[in-house]
Structure formats: structure tokens, C-alpha cells
Amino acid sequence: MANYNLENPLVSDVMTDALSDIDEDMLKDVRRIQFAKGYASIKLKDDTEMIYDQTAKEVMPAHEWYQKAHKYYCRRKEVQDRALEKAGALEAYNAVEEWLTEHAVIRQVERKDISGPDFEDYEVVVERELKYGYRLNAMWFEKDCIVLEICCYDRAIKMDCNISDCDNAYLIYKDGEIKEADYTSSEEGMVFTPIE
């Protein structure tokens, strides 16, 4: 059967790099290698766990790699928080992150264009499930609020999955509160209003 996931070939760059960079003596002692995004997990015949880090191009004991990964995550979180604070969006981001973890669905206005003499355009509020995941796509810095565009996936996302379509929903952060929103287009651009 053909592989229709053309964005993800059978052989990943991590596999090629790991097998190239691990020395031959260690390769002779490998029982299993599992490839992930950016690293490979290696189990030796004596049950020792090692990690190949694609960025560092080195093999290290698993516990050491996990410690480095945790430190890196903490540094990235600090950088992210400073960047959001600089933009005046840290409170909004934290509030939206909390809101998304506490809700199973996000409401969105869906518009249908039905043409014909007996039909009219209509709008309906639909609920998009958050169970398959979501990501922050965009931020609008309005005069009195911040609007965040959330992309909601409609199916489970696998590692390196190339997904091109998702449903965009909007959240308004204003005066410490989050509200689901919709937009209309005007000459000035997008105008956001809370969904009642």
C-alpha cells in the first residue's frame, strides 16, 4: 500500500542522524532504538537507557538528558513569559491557557450562504470540541482587549501529522475575563464581539 503521508517519509532525519552519530561499538550493544521528534531513545543489551539528542548530536544517559530537557523547558517558559509581558499579553495568555484546560468545548459562529429566492444566509452557534487539541494561531491587540484566535482540531493529531485545516474560534480577554467571541468584517478590519 502507498504511503499517502508524503510530508513524513518512512525514514526520519532523527533515525539517519542517530545511526550516523552513534559510535560503532555502542551500536553493537543496542537492543532497541525508538525515534521521536528531535531525539532517539536507546536501550542497550544490559538494559541501560540512553538518549540521542539530535540538536546536540550526542548520546547521553537518559536521566541526564531529562534533566537538561527540564532546564531547557524552564528557560523557554521564562523567555516566553518575558516576551508576552513585553507585548502586554502575559495575563491574557495565562487566562486563556487556564480557560482552555477547564473547558471541553469552545463556541463559534458558523455562517451558511444559501442562495436562492426562498433562502437566506443564516448564522448558528456551534460548539467545537477541544479534546483533539488546539493551538494559539494569532493575537489581536485591540484598544480595550486582546483577542486570541484558537485553532481547534477535529481529529486526533499524530506526531508530525501535516494538518492543513482546522476550525478557528476566538476568545476575548478583557478586564480579567475570557469570553467566546465572533467577528464581522468592516472597512477597518475585523470587529470582535462576545457570543451571547
Residue 190 clears pLDDT 90, i.e. is over it: no
- C-alpha span between 116 and 22 (Å, rounded): 67
What pTM, to 2 d.p., does this model score?
0.67
Q: Which helix (H) or strand (E) element contains residue 112?
A: strand 105-112
| Burial of 173: CB neighbours in 10 Å, binned 0-12, 13-18, 19+ | buried
pLDDT tens-place string over residues 136-159: 989 999 888 999 999 887 766 555
* C-alpha span between 184 and 84 (Å, rounded): 27
89 neighbors 146 (Cβ within 8 angstroms): yes
Residue 116 pLDDT grade (very low, low, confident, very high; cuts 50, 70, 90) = low
Decide if pLDDT at 1 tops 50: no
Q: Is the pLDDT of residue 15 over 50?
A: yes
For the segment 84-108, the average pLDDT, to the nearest whole number, is: 92
pLDDT of residue 148: 93
Q: Report whether pLDDT(10) > 90.
A: no
Burial readout 120-146 (b: 16 or more C-beta within 10 A, e: otherwise): eeeeeeeebebeeebeeeebeeeeebb
Q: What is the average pLDDT score of the chain?
A: 85
Please state, as a whole number, how many other Cβ atoms lie within 10 Å of the Cβ of residue 53: 19
- For the chain, give every domain's residue range: 13-82, 88-194
Residue 2 has pLDDT above 70, yes or no: no
